[in-house]
Every structure is written in structure tokens, then in C-alpha cells.
Chains A and B, each alone.
Chain A
């Protein structure tokens, strides 16, 4: 069988890719899967702090690629979940230290070791992005309901289609249901209509995400967190489970068209 390699990308920076990777990895691993996440942002390492693993780093992805350590040595074991690992980005190198074929080779080695490989793509559409999508079986595009994020997501979707990576699935992150209700934020339906790809999840804006990041504890581990629940639902949909979309606006029927389908 072998692992599925999933890349999360967005075009625009700061929309929540790293947080999404950390949370999806934690959600999959909490369900018993063996998961490795790779920080693809060489020179701007961040997945380690979001996951709370920054003090455990010895080797990084470039060390593994250039043979200074064995792959296993670059895999940092998570402190909460026994089958969750992080391969951190190199902090003192730049994107040119890695090639797309390096990433394909690295991921092929990981495929036999684990169930999921999640790659956190850097922002942009250049080398780091190309490296991050090279090995992907499936790409998730993450956006915010906001003009610049949606426009960049559309560019990235176009590039993925041109590179024959297939049509990616969409995560809408940081949706604020109150602003949507006041018609001062694009709704999930608006974003879907504009981007015209399949939706895999909507994550509501949630202050708990910042609190969790402050402590290095992804919210997907907190049973009561709304954003955490949204990430857990996306993890289930990645596994092929049919999970209804969360009712972010209980009682208003605003989400009826989205949630009522299927």
C-alpha cells in the first residue's frame, strides 16, 4: 500500500498553512495513523514551533537529503503522539538546497514507513512550492475568505492543473460566521463559486488557534475547540469518510445548501 503524500499550499503567505499541517497531522495521528510532516519552507522554518518540537531538532530535511544523517534521525518524534514525526526545514540554507527529485526520493523512502506524509509548502509559486508539490499524490489548497488570498489560490490551482497535478481540494480557513452573516465577508459558497474546485473543509476563525500556537499545542487535540473539530473533520474526509460540514451558523439556514448536499 504505502503512504499518501499530501501537500498543503496557498500561494499567499499567512493564511494558515503551517497551522493546518500541524492540526491535520495531529488529527490523523490521534486516530492511530503513522504520520510524518515535512516543513517545506527552507530558511523560514516554522512547523517545529507550531507543533512545540523546536527544542528537539538535531538534523533537518537537507541533512537527510545530503546524506549527513539517516532519514530516521531527521524524523523528530512528537511528544504527545507516538506515531507522529516532524522532518524540520533547514534554517541556514535556502530553497536551492533541495530539488523536486530530492523530494520525490525522500517521500518514496517514507512511503513504506508511514501511512501519511504531509508537506507544508512555503508561500509563493517558485522553487520551494515546486519542491513541495513534486511528490504529492494530492494537493490541498488553503485560502481565507478574503480577496488577495482567493486570487492567489486561483493562481495556484491554475498552476497545479497546468502541471497535471490534478484538481486540488479546497480548505477555507478563518471564516468568521458573524461577518458572513453581516455580508461583510465572502461566504464559503462565494469562495467555492469563484474557485470552482471541491471543498474538503471550512475552518472557523478561532482565538484558540493562537493560544494553541503560543504553547505549541495544535487545537485538533482539544475536544471542545471549533477549529479543532473542523480540522478533525478534514482529516476524516482525507481518509475518505463522508463527514457532514459543520453547522457554523446553527439555525439560520445560511449553510443549508452546503451542509444539505449529499
Chain B
């Protein structure tokens, strides 16, 4: 009767939580280690090009049984850099 008061059904919670846990189990990377990796990665790249720090997206994605580190790092255009 009070179905509308119930939170989201639990199967979806289970799947979302497992997706995250399995990625960290499979890569042996904790969320904190992943953050450190992201910081290091941005440091290195910033030494060579000007990037947009706020628009950076770096994360682990599943592809079947393998995981990949996917980074989307927008680079500031020359024109904007010259413009100041």
C-alpha cells in the first residue's frame, strides 16, 4: 500500500555496489589509491600541456572481465592560452 514510500528496490542497490566492489577487487586499487593515481597523472600531463582541471574525468571501466583506466582530459586551446 505504501509502496511509494519504499526506497528503490534492493536488487539495483546490490548490482551497483557489486559493480564498484568488483572493479576495485579486480584491479587491487582502493578508491584512495585511484585518487592518488589521478593526481599523479594530472601532474605529469600538466607539465607538458595546459589542461582544464575542472573538466577532467578519469575512472575505471569494466569491459567483460577486463578493466580499463579511461581518462578524458580536455586541453586548453592555444587561442585561449594566448588570450590569457
Residues of A that sit less than 8 Å from B by CB: 146-147, 150-151, 154-155, 157-158, 161, 167, 180, 182-187, 190, 193-197
Contact = CB atoms under 8 A, between A and B. Distances in A.
Nearest to B8: A183
Nearest to A150: B18
Contacts of B62: 196
12 contacts: A147-B14, A150-B18, A167-B65, A182-B9, A183-B10, A184-B10, A184-B11, A186-B11, A186-B14, A186-B18, A190-B14, A193-B15
Interface in B15-58: 15, 17-19, 21-22, 25-26
Contacts of A158: 25-26
A190 B22 CA distance: 13
Q: Is the interface of B mostly helix, strand, loop or mixed?
A: helix
Give me the 8 closest cross-chain CB pairs, A-B, nearest first. A183-B9, A196-B64, A196-B65, A183-B11, A190-B15, A184-B10, A154-B22, A147-B14
Contacts of A155: 25
Interface size band for B? 10 to 19
A180 B26 contact: no
A151 B22 contact: yes
A183 B11 CA distance: 5
Given A190-B15, A197-B65, A154 B25 contact: yes
B58 to A, nearest CB: 23
Interface of B: 9-12, 14-15, 17-19, 21-22, 25-26, 62, 64-65
Given A180-B11, A182-B9, A190-B15, 5 more contacts: A147-B21, A151-B21, A154-B26, A186-B18, A195-B65
B37 to A, nearest CB: 21
A194 B65 contact: no
Contacts, number: 47
Given A183-B11, A185-B11, A186-B11, A194 B22 contact: yes
Given A151-B22, A154-B25, A155-B25, A194 B64 contact: no
A187 B62 CA distance: 19
Contacts of A190: 11, 14-15
A180 B25 CA distance: 26
B26 to A, nearest CB: 6
B66 to A, nearest CB: 9
Contacts of B9: 182-184
A200 B65 CA distance: 17
Given A161-B65, A194-B18, A197-B65, A151 B25 contact: yes
A157 B65 contact: yes
Contacts of A147: 14, 17-18, 21
